[in-house]
Amino acid sequence: MPNNPAIPGLDGDAPHFFAPWQAKAFALTVHLHDQGRFTWTEWVDTFAPRVGGTAPLPDAATTADHAEVYYLAWLDALQAILGDKGLAEAALIGEMAEVWRRAALATPHGTPILYEAGLTG
């Protein structure tokens, strides 16, 4: 790792979210906080060690790469706080993600993906 890694995204206005899942993970977190499911300090305590522990990216990494690493840490933290607060178990999230994946594979491109389509895979 160089001593002075380049700061990404200085050229112009990069978007906040580079993929819909990033926006959704952000919104889920803000919404659950709004509902009083956890305090913002609890969120930061869960998120900070994860985002702080990410491996440095090479200088060639794009702004989108940096955003992805950041929101991956965010997603891991969200999954962790859902477990800690008894809102959703990691194992169940994993199973349901697998159902969504099967549903997508069974759905023609351009057609809305229904969760039920993955249950019979």
Partner 1 sequence: MPHDHADHDHTHDHSDLDDMTARVMAMEKLLVDKGLVDPAALDAIVETYEEKIGPRNGAKVVARAWTDPDFAAALKDDATTAIATLGFSGRGGEHMMALFNTPDQHNMVVCTLCSCYPWPVLGLPPVWYKSMPYRSRAISEPRAVLAEFGVTLPEGTKIRVWDSTSELRYLVIPMRPEGTEGWTAEQLETLVTRDSMIGTGLAGARP
- For residue 21, state whether it binds partner 1 (rule: CB under 8 A): yes
Total interface residues for partner 1 by CB under 8 A: 71
The answer to whether the beta carbons of residues 38 and 85 sit under 8 Å apart is yes
- For residue 121, state whether it binds partner 1 (rule: CB under 8 A): no
- CA 60 to CA 50: how far, in whole Å? 23
Residue selected from 84, 87, 119, 121 as contacting partner 1 according to rule CB under 8 A = 87
The answer to whether the beta carbons of residues 84 and 32 sit under 8 Å apart is no
- CA 13 to CA 91: how far, in whole Å? 38
- For residue 115, state whether it binds partner 1 (rule: CB under 8 A): yes
Of residues 54 through 83, those in contact with partner 1 by CB under 8 A are 54, 56-57, 63, 66-67, 70-72, 75, 78-79, 82
